[in-house]
Amino acid sequence: MHKINLVLLTLLCLLLTSCGKTVSVESYAIVPEPVFLNSKEGSFMLDKKTRLYFENVEQNTETAKYITKSLRKMHFRLSLAGEKTKNCIVFSLNDTTNSEIGDEGYLLEVKEDGINISANTETGLFYGFQTLIQMLPEDISAVRYNKITLPYCTILDYPRFEWRGCLRDVSRHFFSVSEIKKQLDLMALYKMNKFHWHLTDDHGWRIEIDKYPELNSIASFRVDRDTIPWTEIEPAREDEPRTYGGFYTKDEIREIVDYAAQLHIDVIPEIEIPGHCAEILEAYPEFGCADDDTVYHTQISPYWPPRAILCGGNDSVMQFLRDVMDEIIPLFPYEYIHIGGDEAWKDNWKKCHLCQNRIKELKLKNEEELQSWMIIQIEDYLSRRGKRIIGWDEILDGGVSKEATVMSWQGYKGAVNAAAHGNCAIMTPTEFCYYNFYQADTNHHPTAMNGMVTLHKAYQFNPIPSGLNEEQQKYILGGQCNLWTEYINNEEQAEYMLLPRFFAMAECLWTPLDRKNWTLFRSKVERQKIRIRALGYNCGVSSFKPILTTSIADRNTFSVTLDWEVEGTQIFYTTDGSEPSRSHGQQYKGAFTIARGATLRTASYLNDTLREEVYSFPIR
């Protein structure tokens, strides 16, 4: 092209982008689905003249600053109005409490004179604002718009559960401060409010502790085997340098806690006791059992069983734990500290004379009770300092205090037992909530922990175990997804595993059960993917294996329905054993029948491309 034309074209592009685009939002696709959403005829136009007005909210509160800053980041530089006028986005704190929306809910209205968001608390306003962001075009973070029309609507919204969490394991692999902040931003956008930070485990200790410097100089680092799949790992040699690892300094912890607070997210640190502690025993072997001569190392691969355990009969171990808690407590200004308690292999305790002496002295029945004794000691110490504990469901095995909260991961039974005894529980059963498991067929996805939680499965999660009466159900605080990172060694992969299942978790924890709708959710996922990709997140690929439901039609025939995870998927199938494709077999349009003993074969297409492979389902 001629040089002068190129310059003119560039100028024209610059002019057009600085003017911005005009867009009309046709419908809303909010995740999690609000409690009540009623769209109406007519629309309001957001433009350069729209003003921001805070009513009853100081402009220098964290929430007001966050809202102003976020709008600016989206190129929406709305000026503040000195008074409430037409064409305003008004954020107001209620003078009188609206009991329907509680502490986290909000009311949002789009009408002819503007947008009103009201709430009882700043948290409610914050969530109302997150909804407003999701009402704007999906690419709002990347594209400059100067006119956006929004359909009139009324939204009334509040969460189903108070605990809406996400765990990140930073021990198996370490993630930087900015990567953690990126996860917190994602949580805020989807109204998640508890960041469970798994800070210590066999593969690395990740928090600065002044009194025990070798936790950081030794236990935070390991030999680097990240270029080799963890399943094929070579053991570390004694002379190999330890180049993989890191830990968060206390200043960095405070930085993240402050950042999370602005996003209305609590940070719950987990310090694992008494098991999953190979890294501690490498740095301080004296905290292991007296009669165990194993030399422990900060682990470099998944290993099983996790035999490393802190000695339950050694007073200096209890002192160590109290000292560590003394440094943890001031960093995390929240109710809870998670003390682990899972998968503590007790073989060493059975052989250790100190552990056995403690069991005799305290007239304990067995090693499970010794674990309970240790945990109750620490719980006591923490409760005198205003903290409560959470532990994985194994803490129930030797008995727990009434105040302990149980995190139920081995199915629902931990929570059922906890609730029956009057203990609170948080649900994270592996079957639905372990996002380190594959999300689709293993042949088509990067290596992950052995297990499968598809998007559809993730969406079926109901935190309330069946069989609890109404009173017991009140002990279920909510749930969370867990991102264990044995097979996740970078942020891009972490996001690939979290998303899009994270949308499912947000909806399972916020939206009332009777407002959940898989088909609607599936279509919203596509629009949310555009939104988060525009924000720089990596998103996983869901399963293309059809979800099959069969029922007996008559003695020799089954009725089959197929479902799919990705909006726009077309399924072609055969029932005579031949290979289906776009040009061979039937396109699935609804339930059909198939003879007992036949094989259903399916081919899923998206945008004219075969996805994954042809699947076969023997029908019996």
Between 32 and 340, name the residue whose CB sits nearer to ligand ACM: 340
d(CA 236, CA 242): 9
- Minimum Å distance from CB 437 to ligand ACM? 11
479 binding partner (options Zn ion, ligand ACM, none; Cβ < 5 to 8 Å by kind): none
Q: Given the complex with Zn ion, which of 218 and 289 has the nearer CB atom?
A: 289
Determine the interface stretch with Zn ion among 71-79, 190-198, 355-363, 374-382 (rule: CB under 5 A).
355-363
The Cα–Cα gap between 429 and 107 comes to 33
Q: Backbone phi, then psi, for 569, in 5-degree steps?
A: -70, 140
In angstroms, give the least distance from the CB of 482 to ligand ACM.
Answer: 7
Residue nearest Zn ion, CB atom distance:
352
Q: Using CB distances below 5 to 8 A depending on partner kind, what does residue 313 bind out of ligand ACM, Zn ion, none?
A: Zn ion
The residue from 198, 203, 264, 276 that is catalytic is: 276
* Pick 354 or 548: Cβ nearer Zn ion: 354
State which of positions 305-344 bind ligand ACM (CB under 6 A).
Answer: 342-343
Pick the closer one to Zn ion by CB: 57 or 376: 376
Question: What angle (nearest 5°) sits at the alpha carbon of residue 97, between those of residues 130 and 53?
Answer: 50
Q: How far is the CB of 342 from ligand ACM (least distance, A)?
A: 4
Identify any residues that bridge with 168 across adjacent strands, giving them in sequence order.
197, 483
Closest residue to ligand ACM, Cβ-based? 342
Please pick, from the candidates 336, 409, 432, 437, the single residue that binds ligand ACM as defined by CB under 6 A: 409
Say which residue the tokens 């309970």 belong to. 372
Which two tokens mark 120? 């009882």
Out of 37, 233, 354, 452, the residue judged to bind Zn ion by CB under 5 A: 354
367 is a catalytic site residue: no
User: Per DSSP, which regions of 60-219 are E strands?
Assistant: 79-80, 88-93, 106-111, 114-119, 145-157, 163-169, 194-198, 200-201, 204-205
CA-based torsion, 157, 158, 160, 166: positive or negative: positive
- Residue 313 in the binding site for Zn ion (CB under 5 A): yes
Binding partner at 409 among Zn ion, ligand ACM, none, C-beta below 5 to 8 Å by kind: ligand ACM
Measured from the CB atom, the residue of 116 and 423 that comes closer to ligand ACM is: 423
Least separation in angstroms between residue 420's CB and ligand ACM is: 21
Binding segment for Zn ion among 284-292, 374-382, 406-414, 550-558 (CB under 5 A)? 284-292
- Who contacts 172 (Cβ-Cβ below 8 Å, separation ≥6)? 201, 203, 204, 484, 485, 486, 488
Q: Catalytic residue, from 109, 201, 272, 394: name it.
A: 201
Cβ proximity to Zn ion: between 352 and 376 the closer is: 352
- Least CB distance to ligand ACM at residue 426 (A): 12
In whole angstroms, what is the distance from residue 453 CA to residue 481 CA?
11
E-strand stretches of 412-528: 425-427, 437-438, 449-452, 476-483
Report if residue 451 touches ligand ACM, rule: CB under 6 A: no
- Please state, in angstroms and rounded to a whole number, the distance separating the CA atoms of residues 534 and 141: 6
Spacing of C-alpha 245 from chain mean position: 23
Task: Find the part of the chain contacting Zn ion (CB under 5 A) among 283-291, 339-347, 507-515, 541-549.
Answer: 283-291
Q: Which is nearer to ligand ACM, 409 or 432 (CB)?
A: 409
- Residue 392 partner contact from Zn ion, ligand ACM, none using kind-dependent CB cut-offs of 5 to 8 Å: ligand ACM
Q: Which of 234, 343, 347, 492 is catalytic?
A: 343
Element spanning 244, H or E: strand 244-245
Helix, strand, or coil (residue 379): helix
Q: Which does 342 bind (CB under 5 to 8 A by kind): ligand ACM, Zn ion, none?
A: ligand ACM
Residues forming beta bridges with residue 483, ordered by sequence position: 168
**Residues 340, 404 contacting (CB under 8 angstroms):** no
Please choose which of Zn ion, ligand ACM, none residue 343 contacts, taking the beta carbon within 5 to 8 angstroms, the exact cut-off set by kind.
ligand ACM
The residues in 575-604 that bind ligand ACM, with binding defined as CB under 6 A, are none
Q: Where are the alpha helices (DSSP H) in 38-191?
A: 62-73, 122-135, 177-189
Task: Using alpha carbons, select from 604, 455, 570, 436 the residue that is nearest to residue 524.
Answer: 455
Residue 234, contacted partner among ligand ACM, Zn ion, none, CB below 5-8 A by kind: none
Is 282 an annotated catalytic residue? no
Residue 113 or 343 with smaller CB distance to ligand ACM: 343
Residue 140 CB, nearest distance to ligand ACM (Å)? 37
What are the DSSP calls for 321-376, one per residue? Answer: HHHHHHHHGGG--SSEEEEE--S---HHHHH-HHHHHHHHHTT-SSHHHHHHHHHH
Q: How far apart (Å, rounded) are the C-alpha atoms in residues 176 and 392?
A: 26
Cα gap 605→588, rounded to integer Å = 11
The site that binds ligand ACM (CB under 6 A) totals a number of residues, namely 4
Cα(339)–Cα(322) distance, integer angstroms? 12
173 part of the active site? no
311 binds Zn ion (CB under 5 A): yes
CA angle 476–477–478, rounded 5-degree value: 95
CA dihedral 565, 568, 569, 570 (to 10 degrees): 140
Provide the minimum distance between the beta carbon of 360 and Zn ion in the complex, in angstroms, as a whole number. Answer: 13
| Selection from 235, 259, 245 nearest residue 176 by Cα | 245
For residue 354, the partner it binds in ligand ACM, Zn ion, none, with Cβ less than 5 to 8 A by kind, is Zn ion
Residue 152 carries which side chain, given as an amino acid letter? Y
Least separation in angstroms between residue 304's CB and Zn ion is 21
Nearest distance, CB of residue 196 and ligand ACM, angstroms: 11
Paired tokens of 505: 């978790």
- Figure out which of the listed residues 136, 180, 352, 440 binds Zn ion, where binding follows CB under 5 A: 352
Give the nearer residue to ligand ACM in terms of CB position, either 260 or 433: 433
Footprint (CB under 6 A) of ligand ACM, residues 337-396: 342-343, 392
356 vs 511, beta carbon nearer Zn ion: 356
Residue ranges binding Zn ion (CB under 5 A): 289, 311, 313, 352, 354-355
Task: State the residues that interact with ligand ACM by CB under 6 A.
Answer: 342-343, 392, 409
Question: Which are the catalytic amino acids?
Answer: 201, 276, 343
